[in-house]
Amino acid sequence: MSTTLTNTVSSDLTVDLVRERMAADDSWVIRGLIAIYRMQTASEQASKSTDVLNGVGFTGVDAAFGSSLAEQAIKRGSLSPKQMIYARRMMKKYAGQLVRIAQGQMAAAA
């Protein structure tokens, strides 16, 4: 049974640990992807862009692709092997944000 982002004790999470888990476990990538997507504003989710520079959610460069991957993961519960390669690579940069989300230091955007 794999450990997931939501059932790991948040105080034990570090950026390095999140990166390590995402490198080894697809479920961590998917949960992280969805968590970052949910930090986007409703407008950003609808337009698959970054409109508000609030330090949460996807960067402008990743917004369209990250949103598309997250929506597919939500709908299907998984990504294709090729999508997973790109998602895993992209999600490394969001490890710090994921730690802050898990520790309750960030609220979803309005």
pLDDT at 108 over 60: no
Average pLDDT over residues 55-79: 93
Average pLDDT over residues 47-63: 85
Q: How many CA atoms lie within 13 A of 108 on its CB side?
A: 13
Mean residue pLDDT across the chain: 86
Q: How far is CA 83 from CA 17, 21, 66, 79, 86, in A?
A: 22, 18, 10, 6, 5
pLDDT at 51 over 70: yes
Q: What is the pLDDT of residue 74?
A: 97
| 37 contacts 67 by C-beta, under 8 angstroms | yes
Interatomic CA distance for residues 67 and 78, integer angstroms: 14
